[in-house]
Amino acid sequence: MGDLSLYFSRREFKCHCNDPDCRGKKVTPSFVLLRGLDTLRKLAGAPITVNRGISCEKHNKSLKPIPGAKNSRHLPWYADAADIVIKGKSVREMAELALQVAVFRYGGIGIYKNRIHVDTRNYIARWPKACWQTQTEFKTLREMEKTL
């Protein structure tokens, strides 16, 4: 039981920087994101770990090996994104589950080597493009593995 939603707590979304006055430590994630993640958790039937929730500008720029996007949905003024891992699921399985949740299907889904990104922007975004046949269909597993 979380303190923000059925499954998620504030601490999971806080910025990981060392600045005690960081704005990313004070902002609450969007209600729509939280509802989407709760729905995804129920659908998956497995725990979800939030690797990255909200990031202040300073932390976003310092990410390695690649800094976060300048207009990242993780930034405090959006606060509608999460990088997640679903226990026991492959990256492809996680993305397939995310596509079943309307706020992610019609928002952002990014695929990384060991996690996915989900957000509730008001338009469809998918990346990397090399993993997607269309905005709702993947390329073959072999093609995806070459990309990641």
Domain boundaries, the chain: 10-122
CA distance 60 to 69: 8
- Sign, Cα dihedral of 107, 109, 17, 20: positive
Q: What is the CATH number of domain 10-122?
A: 3.30.1380.10
Place of tokens 């509730």: 120
Check if the beta carbon of residue 130 is closer than 8 Å to that of residue 147. Answer: yes
Question: Comparing 133 with 56, which gets the higher pLDDT?
Answer: 56
48 Cβ contact list (under 8 Å, min separation 6): 7, 8, 37, 40, 41, 84, 85, 86, 87
pLDDT digits (tens, 9 = 90+) for 12-54: 999 999 888 898 888 999 999 999 999 999 999 999 999 999 9
For residues 70 and 66, what is the distance between their CA atoms, to the nearest angstrom?
A: 12
pTM over 0.95? The answer is no
Assign 115 a pLDDT band (cuts: 50, 70, 90): very high
Query: Residue 108 in contact with residue 73, Cβ under 8 Å?
Result: yes
pLDDT higher for 1 or 13?
13
Say how far residue 58 (Cα) sits from the centre of its chain: 19
Residue 57: CB atoms within 10 A of its CB come to 18
Task: Give the pLDDT confidence score for residue 138 in this predicted structure.
Answer: 74
pLDDT tens for 60-110 read 988 887 778 889 999 999 999 999 999 999 999 999 999 999 999 999 999
Cα distance between residue 49 and residue 118, in whole Å: 13
Asked whether the beta carbons of 12 and 84 are under 8 A apart, the reply is no
Residue type, 25: K
Q: Is the pLDDT of residue 140 over 90?
A: no
